[in-house]
Amino acid sequence: MPGTELFGAEERKEIEDVLSTGILFRFNHDAQRKNIWKAKDFEQEVKTITGAKHALAVSSGSAAIMAALAASGIGTGDEVICPPFTYIATIEAVLMLGALPVFAEIDETLCLSADGIKKALTPKTKAVCLVHMCGGNANMDEIMAVVKEHQLILVEDAGQAFAASYKGTYTGLFGQAGAYSFDFFKIATAGEGGIFVSNHETTYKLADNFCDHGHDHAGNNRGMENHPVIGFNFRISELHAAVGAAQTRKVPFIRKNNLKNKAFLQSKLSAIEGVSFAKLGDANGDSGTFLNLMLPDTASAKRVVDEMNKAGVTGFNYWYTNMYHFINQWEHIKELKTAAKLPIEVLGAPQDYKNLNLPKSQEVVGRLISFGVRCTWTEEDMSKLASQVADCIKKAMSTVNA
């Protein structure tokens, strides 16, 4: 959790600025707030790093992806191609907007593949919700070719990939809109928070309305503002934005150290027989937040996980059995267990979610073990971890060869 590793005086100062005015609300109260606008600061820091023309700070990464989809025109009955490997919020956002998820194959980038998207297309496909998983990036040239050929709307969930890029363009900025997460576990954290980004002014303005009950934010009297659309409350507080702004300023330093530490671990582990690493669409655009090990097959990966648990190794995820990142455990999605009836229950699901055939995704996620990279690791820390992991892999693999 790189962001949380670096909590300090900078975050406290930003919070104290807000407390000194008593204005925790992100809008209005111009006189009392003494020109202290932390949500605006947070948005500007994100724009500075990514080059996005527009950024909107919201209450969570989940809110950001819902806003990105809604402001891009995705709604009831629209088929949206999604990956089966993502944080569940991506799928929840599609469903809550009344749209219909269509699951497609990922590849070794851990993201949707162009071929997977093509095979999932139907006459009803309106959009692709591309997720840049585990700090990396997808093969964007290939994906954009499919998007353009079929005139699809592209929305990017880069919740785990803030500060990642592909050939100079940051994740989240290839399509109509994108989303970043700044929750407790990301490269930078606001505690809870997210950022919507877009290079399209109309899309941004619609998201700005949508995330605050439809308010147009024109003038200085909130009670007299117009409401161009129906919206909901996805506002961020000034306190959360204050932390997010301070943290985002640290991201270049964090990323630099992440990449150095990741390279060190890869060099140590790459010599082990049977070990490879997840691919990147563009290796130069890696955020460095995850070290993604690939074992020869699912059975091998499971044995390695067992050995690491026995040895007390921590800080890794085995997504294949993770309850909220991979489709195998999404029983509530497969069975459409809802608190209240959703449009998909009336319109019908576009796929049989209980019997999906996604062999490539099963193979890739089954082989994958991810370690969160820490920017504060010392060489001693990393050497110890590499040695422990190497021992566990060798023990697990030896049982096959015995």
Burial of 32 (0-12, 13-18, 19+ CB in 10 A): exposed
Which pLDDT belongs to residue 61? 98
Under the phi-then-psi rule, with left for phi > 0, alpha for psi from -120 to 50, and beta for the rest, what region is 27?
A: beta
220 SS3 class: coil
As a whole number of angstroms, the distance between CA 393 and CA 305 comes to 9
Phi, psi angle pair for 75, to nearest 5°: -155, -155
Which pLDDT belongs to residue 145? 98
Which pLDDT belongs to residue 400? 59
Burial pattern 74-111, b for ≥16 Cβ within 10 A else e, equals: beeebbbbbbbbbbbbbbbbbbbbbbbbbbbbbbbbbb
| Number of CB atoms found within 10 A of residue 330's CB | 17
Which pLDDT belongs to residue 3? 79
- Would you state the structure tokens that stand for residue 226, as one six-digit string? 């117009």
Distances (CA, A) of 97 to 101, 104, 234, 243, 390: 11, 20, 14, 30, 45
**Which are the contacts of 180, defined by CB distance < 8 A and separation ≥ 6?**
46, 61, 64, 158, 159, 161, 162, 172, 186, 194, 195, 197
- Would you state the structure tokens that stand for residue 327, as one six-digit string? 């489709």
Which pLDDT belongs to residue 401? 56
As a whole number of angstroms, the distance between CA 323 and CA 112 comes to 20
The answer to whether 289 and 187 have CB atoms below 8 angstroms apart is yes
Handedness of CA 146, 174, 67, 131 (dihedral sign): positive
DSSP 237: P
Class (C level, CATH) for 252-401: alpha beta
Which residue's entry shows tokens 């990464």? Answer: 61
**Which are the contacts of 74, defined by CB distance < 8 A and separation ≥ 6?**
80, 94, 97, 99, 126, 127, 153, 155
Distances (CA, A) of 77 to 125, 126, 142, 177: 10, 10, 27, 20
Which pLDDT belongs to residue 195? 98
- Would you state the structure tokens that stand for residue 105, as one six-digit string? 């194959």
- Would you state the structure tokens that stand for residue 48, as one six-digit string? 């500075």
Which pLDDT belongs to residue 19? 98
Domain positions in the chain are 2-251, 252-401
Spans of the chain, pLDDT less than 70: 1, 400-402
Q: In terms of DSSP bridges, do strands 290-294 and 276-277 run parallel, antiparallel, or are they unpaired?
A: antiparallel
pTM greater than 0.75: yes
Q: What's the CATH fold of domain 2-251? A: Aspartate Aminotransferase; domain 2 (3.40.640)
Burial of 272 (0-12, 13-18, 19+ CB in 10 A): middle
